[in-house]
Amino acid sequence: MYIDLSELKNKKHGRKELNLEICKEYFNDNGEIVKFLRPIKFNGSVRYVDGIFDLTGKAETEVLLACSRCNDSFSKSISIDIKEKLSDTINNDDAEIILIDIDKLNLYQIIENSLVLELPVKRLCSESCKGLCQQCGTNLNSSECKCNNEDIDPRLAKLKELFSNS
Ligand SMILES: [Zn+2]
Ligand SMILES: [Zn+2]
């Protein structure tokens, strides 16, 4: 998805609305393939002020993640605020400015970069996910196993007692 901003630059002070959908199948999150479950919806705009393109907007989509505890896949809705400064000239001291090709802004790449930062490191299908049995590998969310998982830390056992009384 490339966007041509050269027209905006010629106007000196201009604004371009960006309301679009980007269809992607998946992206690579540090070696892990993450699938998109629906197109990315982007609603925002670019403003050109004093040589800088100000990109703001909201990107929304849904991705398929693997649970860190039980390894089951689950869907997660994502909504990220995008706020970036872009420029087509390299002589900018500001490290936060992203260098772009003025006639070929890769909006998807910018969204993906934010998306990778937005995704949690620990991904749980639910807060109460029981995970896999350490001994036999059974998914404890859907079935029980016969392993003895009761020999837990005595300090935790004390806590457990406290909670079961309440
Ligand atoms: Zn899980
Ligand atoms: Zn087990």
pTM of the model: 0.79
Q: With contact defined as beta carbons under 8 Å apart, do 100 and 86 qualify?
A: yes
Distance 151 CA to ligand 1 centre (A): 22
pLDDT number for residue 17: 95
Q: Which ligand is nearest to the CA of 128?
A: 1
Task: State the amino acid at position 87 in one-letter form.
Answer: S
The mean pLDDT value of the chain amounts to 88
Q: With a cut of 50, say whether residue 80 has pLDDT above it.
A: yes
Query: pLDDT over 90 for what percent of the chain?
Result: 66
Number of H helices, E strands in the chain: 3, 9
Q: Which ligand is nearest to the CA of 131?
A: 1
Distance 130 CA to ligand 2 centre (A): 12
Q: Residues 37-43: what's their mean pLDDT?
A: 98
Give the number of residues written for the chain. Answer: 166
Tell which residue, 125, 86, 143, 115, has the closest CA to residue 28: 115
Q: With contact defined as beta carbons under 8 Å apart, do 59 and 128 qualify?
A: no
Distance 141 CA to ligand 2 centre (A): 12
pLDDT number for residue 23: 96
Q: Which of 6-10, 16-20, 22-26, 130-134 has the lowest mean pLDDT?
A: 6-10
The 10s digit of each residue's pLDDT in 97-116 is: 888 998 999 999 999 999 99
